[in-house]
Amino acid sequence: MNKLATVFWIVVGALASLPTWAQDLRPAFLLTGAHARDSQDLSGQWTYSKDLYRTGLTDINGWVAKSRMQRYRDIDVAAVEAKGGADFFEFDLDRGPLMAIPGAWNAATPELRYYDGLVWFQRKFAASPQPGKRAFLRFEAVNYRAYVYLNGKEIGRHEGGFTPFVLEVTQALRAGENRLVVGVDSTHDAQSIPTTITDWDLYGGITRPVRLITTPATFIDDATLALRPNGRISGEVRLQGPDAANQQVSLAIGTVASVRAVTDASGRVVFDLPAPKALARWTPEQPTLYDVRFSVAGDVLRERIGFRTIEVKGSQILLNGKPLYLRGMSLHEEEFGPNPARNITEQASRALLHEIKHGLKGNYVRLSHYPHSETTVRLADEMGLLVWSEIPVYWTVDWDNPAVLRKALAMQAETIYRDRNRASVILWSVGNETPVSPSRTRFHGAMADNVRQLDPTRLVSAALLVERQGDVLAIQDPLIDKLDVLAVNTYAGWYGADTLDAIANLTWKVPSDRPLILSEFGADALAGYRNDGNRKFTEEYQAEYYRKTLAMADRIPTLRGMSPWILKDFRSPRREHPVFQNGWNRKGLLSETGVRKQAFGVLRDYYHTK
Ligand code: GCU
């Protein structure tokens, strides 16, 4: 057996040894590269029906809902009513009000602004199923639980407000008109991720696009490729379908490389090849993306992939072997405007990222506190912004509950499977500001192990709480042994009694051999509220807060970057000061309509020095 083949089988053996729990987390279908597949976009006007008392799911005594309330039934209510007779209904999605999907219902009508519960949505669409083809519905996100029915049949369910899911509908799809009904339940509780306690608005609904995707009977369900620090490119391809085994898979990386390999009995094949000499590395300054093509008889999967390496060496973060400083900003998923619907179109996302990349001269964005739209992550690849990605294990969850841990691991897996071909993503974070306890540290430890199993090519971090002893700020968190990069949120000068002048006295006690990121710092300011700066909520105070905090940052020798809190004011029901807030967290460097505050210029000038 030649040398290359020997290496090939060694790699296959290594990758095949994933523990079963990591394999169990793989969703039934991924449809990686779905955006490039032929599909029917079901965005548009959907009818809806409120169901605050959940009558469409369960009856008063917990039994199955009465048929007159089952929103998902495949019936023409008006036609039945026209015949007269005993049957009657207490819903009709055919004649319901309309809502633009994708988009959260909280922004759709004043009546739904604070609605938190179950809403049913319907979309009728024409289809012409072809023999031998398979059909799937891919939801990019539904917040928080989804109950999916097609033509009256339950197709599947999903929990989690920010990750995609794929349901096969080959058997339920019919020629002509189809009736898709989705029950969306925004309710959170002590066992959800996140719980009901957050500092951002609810945004319930079908918040990202839904597409009908058709594939051949045997198709490429997943394909991943990455450049490793050893100078080789490796990854795997997985086919699904009756002819998945012993299929030749061709891989072309632009015009710089082309190889072939044959799938094993399970339809899986691993690639491992030396990086071509002509391969341009992806960097924020030069975000080179290659058209990568995975093909088998009858199917092609297209991806645009950047090739780079990310590592930690001592207290340095190395991008393509060179020390990196992260000039970043934190961001919630909320478009500019007075009434955001969390409808992140490419234009909306580009407007936000433009402020970081070109307004602030940044090279990094913390997509907080949950997986953002794949539109945003793809734009980060294209524009050259490095990304911190996290799932909403935020403040506190039910640490002792194995079912909640499983939810977190599954949510991480859905995020990693979705984004592991994105060069921009360099950090997977396992938590935000979670109070230290043995069960919490075990929970995060399992999350860190999960990330390393699913994706050994990226770094692990967490936004930790800072310990304070007088003027000394320290990180004393047992979790740091599981992290590659330490990160901490600090608000001295905003929360607490510190004056802005007192910030100058603060010193940091952190491990000297680990890179540190200031994952959050910030102060509120109402755009246009001006005075001499000695009053909180003024633009001058926020600007001076930034000057003093940035001077403190310069005194931390292991600091390798920051993502100040936050690019833009964002909706939060926690923030109800009637003059300064009115339901908005005002820590943005821009107002909700995109007006830059004084502090924007302070940070931009600072980043010019980095
Ligand atoms: C915390 C938290 C943010 C919150 C911010 C604030 O650090 O991570 O989600 O919005 O503080 O208080 O504004």
Overall number of domains in the chain? 3
Kindly state whether residue 384 falls inside one of the protein's structural domains: yes
Q: Are 42 and 181 in the same domain?
A: yes
Boundaries of domain holding 121: 34-216
Mean pLDDT for 99-126 is 98
pLDDT digits (tens, 9 = 90+) for 147-191: 999 999 999 999 999 999 999 999 999 999 999 999 999 999 999
For β-strands 39-41 and 44-50, DSSP reports them as unpaired
> For tokens 């997509």, what's the residue?
367
Kindly state whether residue 227 falls inside one of the protein's structural domains: no
Q: Are 145 and 115 in the same domain?
A: yes
Q: Which of 112, 124, 134 has the alpha carbon at shortest distance from 184?
A: 112
291-304 CB burial, b ≥16 within 10 A, e <16: ebbbbbeebebebb
pLDDT digits (tens, 9 = 90+) for 496-545: 999 999 999 999 999 999 999 999 999 999 999 998 768 999 999 999 99
Kindly state whether residue 498 falls inside one of the protein's structural domains: yes
User: Is the model more confident about 66 or about 568?
Assistant: 568
Q: Are 280 and 323 in the same domain?
A: no
CATH of the domain at 71: 2.60.120.260
Q: Are 429 and 501 in the same domain?
A: yes
Kindly state whether residue 329 falls inside one of the protein's structural domains: yes
Query: For residue 482, how many other CB atoms are within 10 A of its CB?
Result: 20
- Does residue 80 surpass a pLDDT of 80? yes
* Residue 328 tokens, joined: 């970043």
Stretch (H or E) spanning 159: strand 153-159
Q: Are 473 and 364 in the same domain?
A: yes
Coil vs helix vs strand at 11? helix
Q: Are 453 and 557 in the same domain?
A: yes
Mutate-to-test residue for ligand 1 from 332, 393, 433, highest number of ligand atoms within 8 A of CB: 433
CATH of the domain at 256: 2.60.40.10
Report whether 525 contacts 485 (CB < 8 A).
no
Q: Measure CA of the first residue to CA of the last residue in the chain; give whole Å.
A: 52
Q: Residue 564 and residue 395: Cα distance in Å, rounded? A: 18
Query: What was the pLDDT predicted at 23?
Result: 60
Ligand 1: residue whose CA is nearest its atom 9:
199
- Could you identify the atom of ligand 1 that is nearest to the CA of residue 520? 7
Report whether 585 contacts 525 (CB < 8 A).
no
Q: Are 304 and 316 in the same domain?
A: no
Q: Are 369 and 277 in the same domain?
A: no
Sheet of strand 44-50, all strands in order from the earlier edge strand to the far edge: 98-101, 44-50, 118-127, 176-185, 145-150, 153-159
- Does residue 21 surpass a pLDDT of 80? no
* 92, 128, 425 from 186: Cα distances, Å: 21, 33, 28
Kindly state whether residue 224 falls inside one of the protein's structural domains: no
Mutate-to-test residue for ligand 1 from 197, 198, 199, highest number of ligand atoms within 8 A of CB: 199
Ligand 1: residue whose CA is nearest its atom 10:
199
Q: Are 236 and 271 in the same domain?
A: yes
pLDDT digits (tens, 9 = 90+) for 573-584: 999 999 999 999
Q: Are 518 and 405 in the same domain?
A: yes
Q: Are 412 and 444 in the same domain?
A: yes
SS (H, E, C) 578-604: CCCCCCEECCCCECCCCCECHHHHHHH
Dist. CA 199 → ligand 1 center (Å): 6
Kindly state whether residue 96 falls inside one of the protein's structural domains: yes
- Could you identify the atom of ligand 1 that is nearest to the CA of residue 570? 10
Kindly state whether residue 226 falls inside one of the protein's structural domains: no
Dist. CA 568 → ligand 1 center (Å): 13
- Domain edge (last residue) among 283, 308, 333: 308
Q: Which of 246, 254, 248, 245 has the alpha carbon at shortest distance from 225?
A: 254
Query: What was the pLDDT predicted at 298?
Result: 95
Output the ligand 1 site: residues, CB below 6 A: 199, 369, 432-433, 489, 520, 565, 585, 587
CATH of the domain at 341: 3.20.20.80
Dist. CA 575 → ligand 1 center (Å): 11
Burial of residue 196 (CB within 10 Å: 0-12, 13-18, 19+) is: exposed
User: Alpha-carbon dihedral of residues 127, 128, 132, 136, nearest 10 degrees?
Assistant: -10
- Domain edge (last residue) among 252, 277, 308: 308
Q: Are 330 and 247 in the same domain?
A: no
